[in-house]
């Protein structure tokens, strides 16, 4: 693969991954000072007549704070994908057929939770997680506090880690993006 067409992870000013662009685009953004270099490959150079750059792998858009709207449709399979097919409660990895969708705050308890302590709406990415059947049954209509259960910080409650785009494990590993994208 030509270096210039290799992918670069683009973060917004608050370090949220917002796009994947080519090395060529990234270099232009760096030259225009619209981006800062977060990670590069130090021994792989891009040369032009006047310039010599190390190959960027992650850049940050210094004046861009938005997070693009998630393109993924809210669906059972997309929630499983987001959670890596892992039950957020017992951390078992299972095939889709053995997984269920759990509403973290159950419908029957929704009204009693103060607005500032719950997502805007009931059936949303923020209130849905992947759970195995056992955990889902055990949870029933209880709240996490009542069970003394927790959802790990880097999981669904953390919107920063929601995938904004699909990216393969292979790319994340190959280009060293793991600090910013959960795989
Ligand atoms: Zn489970």
Q: Work out the number of other CB atoms within 10 angstroms of the CB of residue 3.
A: 13
pLDDT of residue 161: 46
Segment 9-59, tens digit of pLDDT: 999 998 988 888 999 999 999 999 999 999 999 999 988 888 888 999 999
- What's the CA-to-centroid distance between 99 and ligand 1, angstroms? 9
Residue 179 lies in a domain: no
- What's the CA-to-centroid distance between 62 and ligand 1, angstroms? 40
Q: What is the spatial distance between Cα 94 and Cα 162, in angstroms, rounded to a whole number? A: 20
The DSSP symbol for 81 reads H
Segment 86-106, tens digit of pLDDT: 999 999 999 989 999 999 999
Q: Indicate the Cα dihedral angle 102, 105, 108, 110, nearest 10°.
A: -140
Band the pLDDT of 144: cuts 50, 70, 90: very high
Ion ligand 1 — residues with CB < 5 Å: 87, 89-90, 132, 135
Residue 114 structural domain: 76-160
Q: What is the CATH number of the domain that holds 92?
A: 1.10.30
Which of these, 56, 51, 12, 4, lies nearest to 30 by C-alpha position?
56
pLDDT above 90: residue 114: yes
- What's the CA-to-centroid distance between 137 and ligand 1, angstroms? 9
Q: Are residues 50 and 89 in the same domain?
A: no
Residue 183 lies in a domain: no
Q: Are residues 63 and 105 in the same domain?
A: no
Q: Are residues 154 and 81 in the same domain?
A: yes
């Amino acid at each position: 693969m030509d270096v210039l067409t290799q992918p670069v992870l683009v973060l917004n000013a608050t370090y949220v991954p917002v796009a994947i662009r080519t090395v060529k685009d990234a270099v232009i953004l760096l030259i225009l000072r619209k981006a800062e270099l977060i990670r590069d490959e130090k021994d792989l150079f891009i040369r032009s007549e006047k310039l010599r750059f190390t190959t960027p792998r992650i850049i940050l858009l210094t004046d861009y704070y938005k997070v693009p709207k998630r393109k993924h449709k809210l669906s059972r399979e997309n929630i499983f994908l987001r959670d890596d097919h892992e039950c957020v409660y017992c951390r078992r990895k299972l095939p889709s057929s053995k997984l269920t969708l759990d509403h973290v705050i159950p419908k029957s308890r929704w009204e009693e939770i103060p607005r500032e302590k719950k997502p805007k709406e009931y059936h949303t990415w923020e209130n849905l997680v992947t759970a195995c059947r056992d955990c889902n049954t055990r949870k029933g209509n209880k709240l996490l506090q009542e069970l003394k259960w927790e959802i790990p910080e880097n999981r669904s409650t953390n919107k920063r880690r929601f995938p904004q785009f699909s990216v393969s494990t292979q790319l994340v590993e190959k280009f060293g993006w793991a600090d910013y994208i959960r795989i």
